Amino acid sequence: MATAPPLRALPLFLLLLSAAFSFHVAAAHGVRSGGHGLGVNYGRVADDIPSPRRSVELLRAAGAGSVKIYDANPGVLRALAGTRWPVSIMVPNEIIPDMAASPAAADRWVAKNLVPYYPATRVKFLLVGNEILSDYSIANSTWPRLVPAMENIHLSLRKRGISSVKVGTTLAMDALADGAFPRPPSAAAFRADIADAVVRPLLHFLNGTNSYYFVDAYPYFVWAGNNLTVPLDYALFQGGGHTRYVDPVTGLTYTNLLDEMLDAVTIAMAKLGYGRVKLAVAETGWPNGCDYDQIGGNVHNAAIYNRNLAARMANNPGTPLRPGAKMPVFVFSLYNEDLKGGPGTERHWGLYYANGTAVYPIDLTGRRPLWSYPPLPAPENNTPYKGPIWCVLSAAAGEKLNETAVGNALTYACGQGNGTCDAIQPGKKCYLPNTTVAHASYAFNSYWQQFRKIGATCYFNNLAEQTIKDPSHGSCKFRGSLDS
């Protein structure tokens, strides 16, 4: 990688040092997150999770310091009343254009979704949309209306004399030109399609209202995509002195991956003239499970990441660029959410299973010594699985068979591919046994093997699962992931 010319590197270095110094001074004068432990994202895309009141008990048991939800659910907000936790609520992406077009619409939303619960429920952040700059299908309809919607929400709050609620929005790391892993961090910059059109006005708003830039930062995905070059210990806050990275422009030394990612965002903001805007981590964490064709999603790594994150933020907050600066940090998520689509990691981020039992012990306050936790199960998938994989009807779906749901999924699989279900037609090799269960497994696998390289997942509305046991039987052969 070519070294930046000295005359260009020096102004950037001075700019970053200035931002770091000013932020460090601000931190020393009381810039703090509201609670005593990490915040938790309370998502509810799952079957049969505990009630909001029971969820509050589980949050308390884990040592949560704040709570973030993805809507403004009345039952959840009522359950959080009196807890004194700072609470973050969210405006749905789809109504952002209406909010931007009409101050009255924004005020009606505030009147319905915030006012009845505030201040008994201590709403601290009102987040307008979730990762909207990652969704290119709404680039024309919603991106340019994000900041106007935030301004109208802020106007409504001011009109009502509510000054303690900060307005923001959550953005993924793909708002940066090089995504989640710009290395060195000093090279980070916002994408050209949004830098001036959306991000600069957003930063101007956040700076003027003393609010935060909320970023979803997941070292897991960076490590999983670069596991041959990025050490796992570095991603899990276990690098210490033997695993580190030095930015060749700033000279800053990094001992973990999250710090790199967060400083990259700060540097990108500085390049737009807003290096002093405060940073908050809207989502971070590590999956406690994953599919066979994924890597490193297990209980061991999830516990290590979140325990180390809690200890780090309690004892040594900030980043190399902003040492000592405390920031709101929210772990994802409270529960494993089984109704989320996509690959297996999407359904395995929880501190708790859906039945309310802990996936692993954790103290989100960071006060519990790491050595005091009981032993964790050994990780078994920190390197890629090299054997064949199949996609079949899940055991749970087979035991509690919903003929309609499985039939619809089977019809979808058969209707998408090129000869996907030929083998289960009458008289063909896989027609027998002529059951919904057997035909669904064949169809799911046939579809997945045909399309997995272009993003298809073994999910089918929570009816399918991956297996490493060959489901072939008799003359009926199921194609495996290693077959050409």
Catalytic residues: 131, 283
Of 337, 202, 356, the residue nearest 269 (C-alpha): 202
For residue 185, what are its two tokens? Answer: 């961090």
Estimate the share of the chain in helix, then strand, then coil, as percent rounded to the nearest 5.
40, 15, 45
Radius of gyration of the chain (CA): 24
Amino acid of residue 90: M
Alpha carbons 37 and 314: distance in angstroms, whole number? 8
- The answer to whether 219 and 289 have CB atoms below 8 angstroms apart is no
Cα dist from 368 to 17, 258, 287, 356, whole Å: 34, 22, 22, 22
Residue 270 — left, alpha, or beta (φ > 0 → left; ψ -120 to 50 → alpha)?
A: alpha
Residues 6 or more apart whose CB falls under 8 angstroms from that of 102 comprise 152
Residues contacting residue 28 through CB under 8 Å, at least 6 positions apart: 324
Which residues make Cβ contacts (< 8 Å) with residue 207, sequence separation at least 6?
Answer: 274, 276, 277
Provide the 10 A C-beta neighbour count for residue 417.
Answer: 17
- Three-state DSSP at 137 gives helix
Residue whose C-alpha is closest to residue 255's, from 320, 313, 309? 320
Residue type, 135: D
Strand positions, DSSP E, 131-211: 166-172
CB atoms within 10 A of CB 483: 9
Round to whole Å and give the CA distance between 18 and 15. Answer: 5
Q: Are 420 and 446 in contact (CB under 8 A)?
A: yes
Distance from chain centroid for Cα 422: 39
| Residue 183 three-state SS | coil
**460 vs 451: CA distance, rounded Å:** 13
d(CA 274, CA 121): 32
